[in-house]
Structure 1
Amino acid sequence: MKVLVVDDYPTMRRILRNLLVQIGITDVEEAGSGAEALAKLQIANVDLVISDWNMEPITGLELLKKVRGNAATLGLPFIMVTAESKTENVIEAKKAGVSNYIVKPFTADTLKSKIAAVMG
């Protein structure tokens, strides 16, 4: 399985990569912005996107909407990562078609269960 990790903080990308490796996922692409993620999705065959919500200039939610609005990536599993657990954010992400939602901080076990839930 190939995972695209999208976060504007290199440290968070590294943490996510390390957690993925801990649960046995070693094929990881990284993107430092929503725009970079969209470019990588054009050329890379990715099985799952894990994206931070709070990014500039394209937020994780805007990235999600673009992924869902493209026929080629419409059904791509997408997990949103955020530090905020506000109900309205969860609802907004669900409306936009998010596959699952993780609130920071989280463990490798939490990540594994969220991935298992979206990948079947």
Structure 2
Amino acid sequence: MAQQQGTVLVVEDSPMFRRMLSDMLQALGFTTIQEASSGQAALERLQQQSPDLVCLDLTLPDISGYEVCEHIRATESLRDVPVLMISARTQTMDRAQAEEAGASGYLIKPFTPEELRQQVERVMAARPRKEA
């Protein structure tokens, strides 16, 4: 499943981690990787374009990943975009809150490229088809 996948928006405040995640996503066949280092930057980018996937860090310097996710779910044109939450937080409560905010998946740092691939495939497969 290496071919495909379109555009991903990576929302992550750590430049090193953003780079690593972008590389992993490219290896999975995503052709365009957009990066945002804050929740606000992510929202501005999402106004311009609807990506095929959003990889969203929970802990951002301005607004939380939860709020960004809620915004995505509340926006008609973005509602069906899969959101993969990424966090170093392992608490069940964090995962539950992410699901409540509308996250499609939850990945705990640190993770392997294989764990990322499995989560990405799962959330991409679950999204509603556009031509329905």
TM-score by shorter chain over 0.5: yes
Q: How high is the TM-score relative to the length of structure 2? A: 0.87
Percent sequence identity is 37
- How much has 1:23 moved relative to structure 2? 2.1
- One-letter amino acid of the structure 1 residue matched with residue 8 of structure 2: V
- Whichever residue aligns with residue 4 of structure 1, its letter is L
Report deviation, 1:22.
2.2
Q: Does 1:65 align with 2:70?
A: yes
Q: Which residue number in structure 1 is paired with residue 29 of structure 2? A: 24
2:109 aligns with one of 98, 104, 120 = 104
The structure whose RCO (Cα within 8 Å, separation 6+) is larger is: 1
Q: Distance in 2 between matches of 1:45 and 1:79?
A: 15
Alignment root-mean-square deviation, CA? 1.0
The residue number in structure 1 matching 2:129 is: none
Runs of at least 5 residues in structure 1 that lack an aligned partner in the other structure = none
> Do the aligned partners of 2:50 and 2:81 also contact (CA within 8 Å) in 1?
no
Structure 1 residue aligned with 2:80: 75
What is the Cα deviation at residue 85 of structure 1?
1.0
How many residue pairs match? The answer is 120
Distance in 2 separating the partners of 1:45 and 1:104: 25
Using structure 1 for the length normalisation, give the TM-score: 0.95
Deviating more after overlay: 102-111 vs 19-28? 19-28
Tell me the amino acid that sits aligned with residue 35 of structure 1: Q
User: 1:10 is matched by which residue type in structure 2?
Assistant: P
Q: Of residues 93, 102, 106 in structure 2, which corresponds to 1:88?
A: 93
SS in structure 1 of the partner of residue 85 of structure 2: strand
Question: Hey, what's the Cα distance between the residues in 2 that align with 1:79 and 1:88?
Answer: 16
